[in-house]
Every structure is written in C-alpha cells, then in structure tokens.
Chain A
Amino acid sequence: MTPKTEQELAEVIAGSNGPLRIVGGGTRPIGQSDGDALGTSQMRGITLHEPGALTLVAKAGTPVAEIEAALAKENQRLAFEPMDHRALLGTTGEPTIGGVVAANVSGPRRIAVGACRDFMLGVRFVDGSGNVIKNGGRVMKNVTGYDLVKLMTGSYGTLGVLTEVSLKVLPGVAQETTLALDGLDDATAVAAMSAALSSPYEVTGVAHDPVAGKTLFRLEGFADSVAYRAAELTRLLAKFGQLVELDRPRQWQAVRDVVAFAGQPGDVWRLSVKPSDAAALVAKMDAKAVLYDWGGGLVWALTDGGDLRARLGDFQGHATLIRGTGDFPVFQPEHAPLAAISAGLRAKFDPRNILNRGLMQ
C-alpha cells in the first residue's frame, strides 16, 4: 500500500487491522517488524522552501536527494548531515526525509550543530487510530503546547506515520578543511578531540579512525576564517602531534556513512556514550573494528556477533544494533520506569498496536 495523500493514508490505517510495516525508501531496515508494507513514497514533494527564513517543508516521502538539490541551489543544506545507510546495510532505493526523521538520522556535524531532532520545526502524522495530527509548525521558535515534534523524531514509526515535516536549514559554507593527527591511541585521540571541541574554534567534525590511525578535525566557513582557526587549532593541539591538512575527497561522507564497515561481514552496533568513557568501553567490546565520531560520543563497532551490551555491562548511554541479528533487543532496553512511560505512550498513540509492532521494544 502506498497512499497518495494524508487523507488516504488515514483511511488505510483506520481501516486496517494491521500489523503494518511502515516503509519510506526502505534503505534503513533497522530492527524487525512484520506486517503489510505501508509505504510513504507516493506522498512526496517540497511544499515550501523559504531561503530567507531558513525553512523547508516537505512531504514525508520526498527523497532526501531532491531536498538536498533544492537547498544547494540556494547555497543551503541540511546541517545535521543525515547519514546514508545504503552502503553499510547493503540496501537500495531512495532515502526519504520521512525515514531520516523517523530514525533521527544525523551525521558528523551533529556534534557541532545538533541532531535531526534539533532541526525539526514541525510534523504532520497519522496515528495508529487514523487520526491526522499536527504539532509544531514552520517557525524557528515555538513553544506552543507540548513538543510532539521531538517525540515523533526518532520514534521509528511506532507512534504514527509521518506525512509532512518542516525543518530548519542552514547556509552552506564557502570552504571545508580537514586536519589530521596521526597514530594516536584511542584514549589520547578522544582527549585531543575533546580539546578541539572545548575550544572556541568551532570544529564541525571530530572523528577517530583507529584502523587508519587518523584523528580528523573539520573546519568550515569563510576561507580566511578557516585558515585562521586551522592555525589556532594546530597550536592548541601541538601537544598531541603535528596537525596536517588532509585532502581526501569525500572524507566526511566516509565517516558519516561508516563506509569502512560496508561489505565487511559481522554485526554493526551504534553506541552513544559519554565521550571520555568511549575508549574504555571499546576495550571491552572485542570488536573487529571501531570508528569514533562526535569526539568519541558516537562509536560504531563491527563485531563477530553476540550481545555487545552483555560485554559492556552497565554504561551511560545506549547501543543500537544497526546490522545483524541476535537473541537480544535491537534497541537499548530502557530502565523499568522509562519503559513503562514509553509503552504508555505507544498505547495512547497506537492503541491497537498495529504500527511497526514490537520494533522498539
């Protein structure tokens, strides 16, 4: 089923006994849920782009590529740099903006400017009973009523099917420069990344690739400003080694999409952790390879299988199984009181439990 309008979608949901499996572009099959596929790809198109107000509104099924192209024409962009999961997950198809929002997909720039959820201004969606609901709007400051926009972002279709999203966009940049340190061990690399993030030099990407032995720092902006900050950062990080400019095309796309793990056998985990815990956690992982992003706050791990959480024990943060299967939950189990609240919310928004049933539990 691929309804063409929000109204049609509402009728489909109201008339269905489920379960329904919500599909955008089908490029991010994270977790399992069964049921008839309900696709959003026919609800597409940019409904509004106001460059002077930094806002864009699009139907949920709109391809991300279409949005990025429209923004590029005005020298603007989705600053949270949504990851493209296709290479890593071996999927085909067109990533949609609805999928990006439903999974709160962000990239390396998240550490500097915020996640997808931070750029979300408004949503329209159909809940599990077929009600059409809107929240937020298309203005940058809005505290009118509860922020269901945040609640919907990252809810993986379990509370409702998104039909339209509005986003804050940002200007593109004149120049991007990547500087690298060589051969740091993980803990030292995290310390260097922290030092950069704790400086006033506005790094917009900080990643560490232990396999390549490179710790990467990205600066963006007007050319003179980038040059100035590159020099200052070099001085600041001198105690960690000599920063050298790296001229590898698509460097940050590789970090964003974790291409190093693409096509490699094994499970892929994504962990959000307290940065200064990262290296010690990685040491417990028994991973085949890892990649640190967000200054150590985001860890990608490639493993031979098994329950990574069991190996880590209690830690601050969460781990999601992005690729692979096992006898354990895909999403981080919540502590009992939070699990009860989440279950309560699902029961309210989808009382018949028909939308992506069981996906996040």
Chain B
Amino acid sequence: MFYQLHGSGFNQPRTDLPYGKIGIVFLPIAAKEGIHMEMPAPSASVLSRKDQIVSRLKAVLPDAAVISDVMETRAYECDGLTAYRCPPMCAVLPANTQEVAAVLKICHELDVPVVPRGSGTSLAGGALPTADSVILGVARMNDVIETNYADRYIRVQTGRTNLSVTGAVETDGFFYAPDPSSQLACAIAGNIAMNSGGAHCLKYGVTTNNLLGVTMVTMDGQIIEIGGAHLDAGGLDLLGVICGSEGQLGVVTEATLRILHKPEGARPVLMGYDSSEVAGQVVTDIIKAGVLPVAIEFMDRPCIEATENFAKAGYPMCEALLIVEVEGSDAEIDAQLALIMEIARKHNPVELREAKDADEAGRIWLGRKSAFGAMGQINDYMCLDGTIPVSSLPYVLKRISEMSKEFGLDVGNVFHAGDGNMHPLILFDANKPGDLELCEEFGAEILKLCVEVGGCLTGEHGVGIEKRDLMNVQFDPADLEAQMAVKDVFDPKWLLNAAKVFPLDCSAPRRAA
C-alpha cells in the first residue's frame, strides 16, 4: 500500500501536508469592494431599533457573544465570495441550541432578518449579510456529542469543521466521506446548508447521502429533531429538503453523520491526452466498464501549464490530463488499475503513469491540489460550478473555448469529470475597470450552456446571491413557486436569509408580507 487514506485527493488537505493556507491561497476573486449586487433595501424600522435589538440579545447571551460595534461587525461582512460585502447590523455567537433558540425567538418577535453562518467559506455569497440582519454564527459550537462505531455515526455540533469530524474518528480507522476542498475551514453547518460535495463523492455521495439527522431551530425559536441514528424518514423526507436549503429553513445546530471505515489503500494513475474529446471518451469508457473509481479529475492545458509553473508536479504538456484513483487492498487496486490502464491505452495517451509509491502518488495529486492556487498566481479568477451530463463534455469544452475568444478572457478547466461537475476558472484583471463585469457575463453564459445541455447552474457551491438571478434559466415560475412554498411553511415571515436563492422579483411579494 502506497499511502494511507484519506490524503489522496486534492480535496484532501491533511495536516501533515504543507497545505494550511487553503482559505488564503484559494480566494476566488481578488478582494475588491463596491461591486454592485442588487439586495433588498434594508428595513429602516429594524435599523432604527438596533439598540433595543442588541440589548434584547444581550439579555439571553453573554455580552461577548453579541457583536454590534461597527468596526467589529466587519469581520462578518462577506464569505468566500469576497467581491460582495456588507457588514451586518450585529453578529451573535451562541454556544448551544438553547441559545440559538433564544436568539431566534427575539428576532422573530422583532421582525429582524437573520443570516446563519458557519465558517464563511461559501463561494456563492450564501452567508453574505444584509445591512439590517443579525449574523447567527455557529463557530463556537464545535463539540463532538457522541461517537458510535457499532452503529457507524458521529453526532456533532455543526460549527465543527469538516476535517475535524474525520479528525475525531480517524485514529479508530474511520472517516467522514464528504470532502470539500475547503474542508480544513468549512463547517458541517455550511456543508449541510449547501449540500457540499468533494472529489470522492463519485463513490461516497455528497452531504445529503451521509447525513442521518439534525437538530434544527426554526425561525420562531422552536427546536426540532429530524432523523437520528436510524435510516430514512418514516414520513416526509424533511431532512432531504433541509439539506441544501442554504440556511433558509432553519438554523441547524447539531448533526448525526454517517462514518465509514477507511479503505485499505488507494492509488492514482495519471493520463495525458492530445484532445479533451478523447479524454472525455476515456472517462465514459471507464465508467461503462464497470469499475467505479473514487475520483476522476480532469485538467486542461491552461491549468496544466499554470500548475506546472507553480507546483512542478512533472505533468506532461498536453491538452487534457486525467487523474483516476481507485481504492482497496493492493491486489484489488492492481486489478482495477489494470483494467483502467487497458482502456486508457486504447485511446493513445501521450502519458500514462501509475503511482509506484506514496511519493509518486503525492506528486500526481500535487498539481491538482495546487490548481486553484496556481491559477491565482497568474491572475484573478472566478470559479464556476455548473454540472453537465458527462456525455456533453467535449461539446461544452469546445463552446467554452469559443466563448473565451469572444469575451477575450482566458479560461482554465479543472473539474470532477466522473460526475460532470465542472469548475471553469475565468481569468480576469480585478484592477481593470469593467473586467469583473465582463467576467461575470461570461460566467453566466457558461452556466446557461450547462443548463442548455441538460445540466444545472451549480453542482456543489450553491445558489446564494451568485446564481440567484440565473434561476429563471433553469426553472419555470411554477418550479420556483413550489420551492418558495416550502420556505413559507418553515419560515412564514421570510426572515431567514431571504435575499438568497430566489430572484428578488420572485420572492418580493413574500419578503414584503
């Protein structure tokens, strides 16, 4: 066995790797203020009652847990989508479910908007405050409540970071499967709200497939328990609709998560091809052959070049590079890779390299892990997150490169090829007037293309404010109406994170009510 799992994927930052700067290296858009995003006008009534609201909150929380100083609230002015900023009216950091309930009761009574927040790594602006809102951060709630190996679950407070969930069980040989590349920083709270994925979800599924239960506080302050150590719902699958609801249905304070025993080992193989079409075909052929790798990652030439300059992983210069990783015992890995290599060879690779040892495996993943950082070295960039049917890969890549010429902005593609979740990186210059706007326009066109070929606007980052105004491209009014009806039931006053997900004109009648 070459190396211990789970340290393989680019989505697998490990504490023993020089990988600690993730949140810094990966800033998706150069910090810049003043970009316009339409948000509802803050409520003058709420703003005028700030002192009263703060004193009510201080009555139920320790003083230090209520942040209302204008300078201090700036710490919460944005999430990972740093182009958009707006300090909240105040921020609260409760320590447990009861305190969350007390806060929400007050906000509900006083009609104050609330924006839940985990670690603030959302790339969609999901945790962006409005000026009249209370940021409800769960970061202080990071305890492990229960670990149960016989029944294979862990129960945690949701402020706990994704990686430290695995951290709590890995010495016993277990892990929590969903592995967003932000896992060092992002919280289970945000993972649940965004239904986050990772490089290994081809095999293990995304958050919703690994979530067994939650404790949630609804906007009126009611504490509800959904699911638990058992599987599936006895009635309507409320857990299923809460996961991925972007903080709009309630504040999730505790979660029961499925844990699994680590596989015995894993090994990647690297393949280079002269065309993206051929690489796309290889992906399809592997999937059709009946092997199910844990990860199939794809990079195109611009990304390969950038990462080579940056990380010197020894990648071949070619049009398309694939990293395919399989798991199991040594012999099982050998057998699976033999089959995969045979398929790869049929398509005339310019390079085919199986990791011979842990060192080589590390180098194969190195470039992929550094891709975002490398692109960030050469330029500002915007990271998209659409999903397409795998079969449309060659067509979509061709269209993106044509559009890149039309817009005059370069694009690098790096993504989870096995499940069609693309992350085109559009390069732009944040200091050049109009470039970000051009970039956003280009991004919107790419996402529309994803929908056009049968895919969707976002595969794992969520809608937030970023894709809010594109929702009409994917959904008809009746589709959005049905989704908003769900929010009506959970949050009739539309106080929770209400300016997100739905185009403002769609949600306006409800927000005004």
Q: Do A and B bind each other?
A: yes
Q: A-side interface residues toward B, CB under 8 Å?
A: 50-55, 74-75, 104, 106, 110-111, 114-115, 117-118, 127, 131-135, 137-151, 153-155, 158-159, 170-174, 191, 194, 197-200, 222, 224-225, 228, 232, 272-276, 294, 297-298, 316-320, 331-332, 334-335, 337-338, 341-342, 344-345, 348-349, 360
Q: B-side interface residues toward A, CB under 8 Å?
A: 148-152, 174, 194-195, 197, 201-202, 205-206, 208-209, 218, 222, 224-226, 228-241, 243-245, 261-264, 283-285, 287-292, 328-329, 331-332, 335-336, 387-391, 416, 419-421, 454-463, 467, 471, 474-476, 478-483, 485-490, 501
Given A145-B483, A200-B264, A335-B225, A138 and B454 contact (CB-CB distance below 8 Å): yes
B476 CB contacts on chain A under 8 angstroms: 134
A345 CB contacts on chain B under 8 angstroms: 236, 485-486, 489
Of B416, B479, B481, which is in contact with the most chain A CB atoms at under 10 Å from its CB?
B479
Chain B nearest CB from A233 CB (Å) reads: 12
Chain A nearest CB from B388 CB (Å) reads: 7
Task: Decide: A224 and B331 in contact? CB cutoff 8 A.
Answer: yes
A348 CB contacts on chain B under 8 angstroms: 485-486, 488-489
Chain B nearest CB from A31 CB (Å) reads: 12
Given A141-B416, A141-B459, A170-B292, A224 and B332 contact (CB-CB distance below 8 Å): yes
B291 CB contacts on chain A under 8 angstroms: 171
Task: Decide: A228 and B235 in contact? CB cutoff 8 A.
Answer: no
A143 CB contacts on chain B under 8 angstroms: 194-195, 244, 458-463
Task: Decide: A200 and B454 in contact? CB cutoff 8 A.
Answer: no
User: Can you report 27 A-B residue pairs in the complex whose CB atoms are below 8 A from each other?
Assistant: A117-B237, A118-B209, A131-B481, A134-B475, A137-B456, A138-B389, A139-B389, A139-B420, A140-B202, A141-B387, A141-B420, A142-B456, A143-B461, A144-B457, A145-B479, A145-B501, A148-B482, A150-B208, A171-B287, A171-B288, A194-B150, A318-B233, A335-B225, A338-B226, A342-B235, A345-B489, A348-B485
A132 CB contacts on chain B under 8 angstroms: 478
A174 CB contacts on chain B under 8 angstroms: 290
Residue of B nearest to A294 (CB): B231
Task: Decide: B486 and A151 in contact? CB cutoff 8 A.
Answer: yes
Give bound CA distance, A225 to B336, whole Å: 9
A54 CB contacts on chain B under 8 angstroms: 287
Chain B nearest CB from A257 CB (Å) reads: 18
Give bound CA distance, A337 to B459, whole Å: 32
A199 CB contacts on chain B under 8 angstroms: 261
Task: Decide: A53 and B391 in contact? CB cutoff 8 A.
Answer: yes
Task: Decide: A141 and B197 in contact? CB cutoff 8 A.
Answer: yes
Give bound CA distance, A132 to B387, whole Å: 24
B230 touches which of A74, A137, A316 (Cβ 8 Å): A316
Task: Decide: A142 and B234 in contact? CB cutoff 8 A.
Answer: no
Question: How many A-B Cβ pairs are below 8 Å?
Answer: 260
Task: Decide: B150 and A276 in contact? CB cutoff 8 A.
Answer: yes
Residue of A nearest to B477 (CB): A131
Give bound CA distance, A141 to B195, whole Å: 10
Residue of A nearest to B482 (CB): A133
Give bound CA distance, A190 to B486, whole Å: 39
Given A52-B284, A342-B235, A146 and B488 contact (CB-CB distance below 8 Å): no
Of B149, B262, B389, B467, which is in contact with the most chain A CB atoms at under 10 Å from its CB?
B389
- A-B residue pairs, 7 tightest by C-beta: A150-B240, A318-B234, A52-B284, A141-B459, A171-B290, A344-B489, A317-B230
Known: A127-B482, A139-B420, A222-B332. 19 other contacts (CB 8 A): A50-B391, A137-B454, A139-B454, A141-B460, A144-B467, A145-B475, A146-B501, A147-B244, A151-B238, A153-B240, A154-B233, A198-B150, A225-B335, A272-B230, A273-B230, A276-B150, A337-B224, A341-B490, A360-B236
A200 CB contacts on chain B under 8 angstroms: 261-264
B208 touches which of A50, A147, A294, A298 (Cβ 8 Å): A147
Of A137, A158, A198, A232, which is in contact with the most chain B CB atoms at under 10 Å from its CB?
A198
B231 CB contacts on chain A under 8 angstroms: 110-111, 115, 272, 294, 297-298
Of A52, A145, A318, which is in contact with the most chain B CB atoms at under 10 Å from its CB?
A145
Task: Decide: B419 and A140 in contact? CB cutoff 8 A.
Answer: yes
Chain B nearest CB from A302 CB (Å) reads: 20
B389 CB contacts on chain A under 8 angstroms: 50, 53, 55, 138-139
Given A141-B419, A200-B262, A337-B224, A151 and B237 contact (CB-CB distance below 8 Å): yes
Chain A nearest CB from B153 CB (Å) reads: 9
A137 CB contacts on chain B under 8 angstroms: 454-456, 474
B234 touches which of A222, A272, A344 (Cβ 8 Å): A272
Task: Decide: B387 and A142 in contact? CB cutoff 8 A.
Answer: yes
Give bound CA distance, A10 to B365, whole Å: 51
Given A200-B264, A318-B230, A341 and B238 contact (CB-CB distance below 8 Å): yes
Chain B nearest CB from A219 CB (Å) reads: 12
Given A134-B479, A146-B245, A150-B240, A141 and B206 contact (CB-CB distance below 8 Å): yes
Of A142, A199, A316, which is in contact with the most chain B CB atoms at under 10 Å from its CB?
A142
B218 CB contacts on chain A under 8 angstroms: 337
Residue of B nearest to A53 (CB): B390
Chain B nearest CB from A231 CB (Å) reads: 10
Task: Decide: B288 and A146 in contact? CB cutoff 8 A.
Answer: no
Task: Decide: A139 and B459 in contact? CB cutoff 8 A.
Answer: yes
Give bound CA distance, A253 to B222, whole Å: 44
A360 touches which of B235, B241, B287, B486 (Cβ 8 Å): B235
A75 touches which of B202, B290, B458 (Cβ 8 Å): B290
B483 CB contacts on chain A under 8 angstroms: 135, 145-146, 148
Task: Decide: A131 and B459 in contact? CB cutoff 8 A.
Answer: no
Task: Decide: B150 and A349 in contact? CB cutoff 8 A.
Answer: no
Give bound CA distance, A349 to B484, whole Å: 11
A171 CB contacts on chain B under 8 angstroms: 287-292
Chain A nearest CB from B38 CB (Å) reads: 19
Chain A nearest CB from B336 CB (Å) reads: 8
Chain B nearest CB from A289 CB (Å) reads: 21
Chain B nearest CB from A311 CB (Å) reads: 17
